[in-house]
């Protein structure tokens, strides 16, 4: 007994197993997971947690299979044990019940049942790694998840982190001297930081890390992180934002070279912890011993990036590019996963989309454009082309009018930033960054932005009015006309918003709200072309639309789509360039502002078209002289 105790003390002093376990316990992570508020099927929340591989080994629903070319995979074992995983041919894999490419809620429900039965305890696998030819050691924590529910879908998921002790050669020295650096595993790469870096959050000696919901890539803080596939990042958006809850996985120390009979013999499995299916989602992951960092912790860590791009909270104008990118990647991923699952179904959907676009292009007339004749009956295609030609002819004033919105919008953001600084003692963040907002700042930004663009649109309408009246481009005259009538424009905009908002809030008034939203599309044109008052502008717009409601809804809806899609679509490719996300959002805002006058031109040409239609209200004289092209389609 005395001899055994003495040997244990000597082993601990030399950095033996007991000291190693104390080291991994001392620095084991606190894991912040997105809280499930709608369990178990909401994949925007975290449905899984780091757990034991025993959730798969000995599970009667799991199969160990070997692929066979041209044939269905052969089942080697049901409820496989660690011993079953050894000495298998290449490509062997563990197969969970369910279809990874069409998970629905199957995996989440199965995991919830295992967790509730006590078979999925929070756990992390720790490994003390050394690299030949390098001093120091690293403590690695590997997180195993039951399923990966990201843009790529696959059974099983290995993520984790590493803490480096570069001045220590034994666990005892590591405990004495402390860490120097750390790196978090993120998809096929990682993000490193110095141990005393401000972004490294700690609770005592325990680092606090934030796995993204579904993808489980591990980050340093709560945010939405945007990846474009470079430096090992994923493609899409990793979400670690609140609500969050803390989990303390119990660390289990792994050996460097396990023997087949060891409890950790599962480390020797060189197959996949999930079924293979190729495509964007790939196969189930391989285990820790097949990862480069297991054998070269320092070389691997030094190759990883220092930052991860964070999704800005907002753009200056229009939908921000990065949010559009997140949604687009998710949609494309769903299509690619469908195509992987059924190649015929994928091609069929793509063919239907292309056919629908071609049919839409053929159902309208595009010529003649007649851009020089404002009062001209035009089909949708002609309206699109004429608005573009008119914009090109007057490009300098149109661009200037659109960009004039940006200083006003920047001023609104500055008010918000200044308020946060004064009331919350926050440093004013960079352009488009996140952070808490003032109680009144969100309404300020939300409702003031449309008013700014209402003034921009009114200036464009006034420009067209002057062009129609005099035949000459008169920018300053248009500005003066807009200024003299801007209060009517703003009053109508606010009144329309309030009425429609109240109708929507009543729920039963939603159909009426939709009807009136289209009826009141031409308030600005009624005020600036015909000098209508606030009440009469609402009535006049309704009169113009009457009898042509569906045409108005279709055309203005298309132009609205152009306004919200064109800017992000043109700049979303910049995500893959070496530009910061706020800069990309700024470019998207500029494009949105530049495109806004084009949309107003199209709606104004439609206003002139509808006045000439036979459904004009009886007794109301036409405000324009009609010069119709007999060849043009209605």
- The per-residue pLDDT for range 382-405, each reduced to its tens digit, is 888 888 889 999 999 999 998 888
**413 and 295 fall within a common domain:** no
Q: Give pLDDT, residue 309.
A: 80
Q: Give pLDDT, residue 571.
A: 57
Residue 177 within any structural domain of the chain:
yes
**422 and 287 fall within a common domain:** no
Q: How far is residue 33 CA from its own chain's centroid?
A: 18
pLDDT in tens, 295-346: 999 999 999 999 888 766 555 555 555 556 666 555 555 545 544 455 565 5
Among the candidates 247, 269, 302, a domain finishes at 302
Which range, 22-36, 332-346, 490-504, 525-539, is most confident? 22-36
**260 and 400 fall within a common domain:** no
Range of the domain at 52: 16-302
E strands present in 79-180 = 93-95, 123-129, 137-149, 153-165
Instruction: Tell me how far apart the alpha carbons of residues 48 and 36 are, in angstroms, rounded to a whole number.
Output: 10
Residue 357 within any structural domain of the chain:
no
Q: How confident is the model at residue 570 (pLDDT cuts 50, 70, 90)?
A: low
Q: Are 496 and 520 in contact (CB under 8 A)?
A: yes
pLDDT higher at 324 or 284? 284
Q: Are 129 and 137 in contact (CB under 8 A)?
A: yes
Q: How far is residue 292 CA from its own chain's centroid?
A: 30
Q: Give pLDDT, residue 438.
A: 37
**100 and 237 fall within a common domain:** yes
Q: Give pLDDT, residue 472.
A: 82
Residue 335 within any structural domain of the chain:
no
Report the largest interatomic distance among the alpha carbons of the chain, rounded to a whole angstrom: 113
**292 and 411 fall within a common domain:** no
**116 and 237 fall within a common domain:** yes
Q: Is 325 helix (H, G, I), strand (E, B) or coil?
A: helix
Q: Give pLDDT, residue 282.
A: 64
pLDDT in tens, 58-90: 999 999 999 988 888 999 999 999 999 998 988
**422 and 288 fall within a common domain:** no
Q: How confident is the model at residue 406 (pLDDT cuts 50, 70, 90)?
A: confident
Residue 155 within any structural domain of the chain:
yes
**401 and 269 fall within a common domain:** no
Predicted TM-score (pTM) of this structure: 0.69
Among the candidates 260, 283, 302, a domain finishes at 302
Q: Are 160 and 183 in contact (CB under 8 A)?
A: no
Residue 222 pLDDT greater than 80, yes or no: yes
Residue 441 within any structural domain of the chain:
yes
Among the candidates 302, 327, 362, a domain finishes at 302
pLDDT in tens, 408-448: 777 766 766 666 555 555 444 443 344 433 333 455 556 67
Residue 581 within any structural domain of the chain:
yes
Given the structure tokens 């239907």, which residue do they identify?
Answer: 352
**423 and 539 fall within a common domain:** yes
Residue 275 within any structural domain of the chain:
yes
Q: Give pLDDT, residue 237.
A: 83
**235 and 108 fall within a common domain:** yes
Residue 454 within any structural domain of the chain:
yes
**447 and 550 fall within a common domain:** yes
Residue 11 pLDDT greater than 50, yes or no: no
* Total domains in the fold of the chain: 2
pLDDT in tens, 201-212: 999 999 999 999
**288 and 410 fall within a common domain:** no
pLDDT in tens, 574-615: 655 656 666 766 777 788 888 889 999 999 999 988 876 544
Mean pLDDT over the full length of the chain: 81
Q: Are 348 and 595 in contact (CB under 8 A)?
A: no
Q: How confident is the model at residue 161 (pLDDT cuts 50, 70, 90)?
A: very high
Q: Are 222 and 32 in contact (CB under 8 A)?
A: yes
């Amino acid at each position: 007994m005395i001899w055994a105790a003495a040997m244990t003390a000597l082993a601990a002093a030399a950095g033996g197993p007991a000291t190693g376990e104390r080291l991994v316990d001392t620095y084991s992570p606190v894991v912040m997971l997105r809280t499930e508020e709608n369990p178990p099927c909401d994949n925007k929340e975290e449905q899984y947690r780091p757990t034991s591989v025993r959730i798969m080994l000995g599970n009667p629903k799991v199969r160990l299979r070997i692929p066979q070319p041209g044939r269905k995979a052969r089942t080697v074992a049901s409820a496989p044990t660690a011993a079953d995983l050894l000495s298998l041919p290449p490509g062997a894999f563990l197969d969970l019940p369910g279809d990874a490419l069409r998970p629905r809620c199957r995996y989440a429900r199965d995991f919830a049942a295992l967790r509730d039965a006590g078979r999925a305890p929070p756990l992390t696998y720790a490994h003390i790694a050394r690299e030949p030819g390098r001093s120091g050691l690293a403590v690695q924590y590997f997180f195993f998840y039951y399923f990966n529910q990201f843009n790529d879908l696959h059974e099983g998921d290995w993520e984790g982190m590493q803490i480096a002790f570069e001045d220590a050669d034994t666990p005892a020295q590591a405990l004495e001297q402390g860490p120097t650096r750390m790196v978090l595993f993120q998809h096929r790469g990682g993000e490193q930081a110095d141990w005393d870096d401000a972004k490294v959050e700690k609770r005592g000696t325990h680092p606090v890390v934030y796995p993204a919901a579904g993808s489980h890539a591990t980050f340093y803080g709560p945010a939405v992180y945007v990846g474009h596939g470079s430096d090992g990042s994923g493609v899409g958006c990793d979400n670690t934002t609140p609500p969050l809850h803390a989990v303390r996985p119990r660390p289990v120390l792994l050996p460097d070279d396990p023997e087949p009979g060891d409890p950790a013999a599962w480390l020797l499995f060189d197959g996949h912890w999930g079924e293979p299916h190729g495509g964007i989602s790939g196969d189930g992951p391989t285990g820790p011993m097949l990862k480069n960092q297991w054998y070269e912790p320092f070389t691997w860590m030094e190759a990883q990036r220092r930052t991860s791009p964070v999704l800005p909270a907002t753009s200056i104008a229009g939908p921000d590019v990065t949010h559009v990118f997140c949604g687009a990647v998710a949609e494309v991923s769903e299509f690619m996963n469908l195509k992987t699952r059924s190649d015929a179904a994928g091609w069929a959907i793509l063919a239907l989309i292309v056919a629908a676009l071609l049919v839409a292009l053929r159902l309208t007339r595009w010529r003649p454009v007649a851009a020089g004749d404002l009062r001209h009956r035009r089909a949708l295609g002609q309206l699109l082309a004429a608005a573009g030609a008119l914009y090109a002819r007057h490009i300098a004033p149109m661009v200037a009018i659109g960009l004039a919105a940006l200083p006003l919008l920047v001023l609104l953001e500055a008010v918000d930033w200044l308020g946060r600084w004064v009331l919350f003692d926050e440093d004013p963040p960079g352009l488009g960054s996140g952070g808490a907002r003032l109680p009144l700042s969100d309404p300020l930004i939300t409702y003031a932005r449309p008013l700014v663009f209402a003034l921009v649109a009114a200036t464009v309408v006034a420009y067209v009015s002057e062009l129609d009246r005099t035949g000459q481009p008169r920018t300053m005259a248009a500005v003066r006309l807009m200024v003299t009538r801007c209060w009517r424009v703003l009053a109508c905009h606010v009144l329309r918003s309030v009425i429609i908002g109240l109708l929507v809030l009543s729920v039963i008034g939603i159909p009426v709200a939709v009807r009136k939203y289209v009826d009141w599309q031409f308030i600005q044109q009624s005020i600036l072309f015909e000098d209508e008052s606030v009440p009469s502008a609402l009535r006049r717009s309704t009169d113009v639309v009457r009898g042509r409601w569906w045409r108005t809804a279709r055309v203005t809806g298309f132009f609205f789509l152009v306004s919200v899609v064109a800017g992000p679509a043109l700049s979303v490719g910049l995500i893959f360039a070496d530009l910061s996300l706020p800069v990309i959002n700024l470019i998207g805002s500029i494009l949105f502002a530049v495109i806004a006058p084009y949309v107003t031109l199209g709606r104004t040409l439609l206003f002139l078209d509808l006045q000439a239609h036979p459904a004009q209200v009886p007794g109301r004289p036409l405000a324009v002289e009609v010069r119709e092209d007999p060849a043009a389609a209605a």
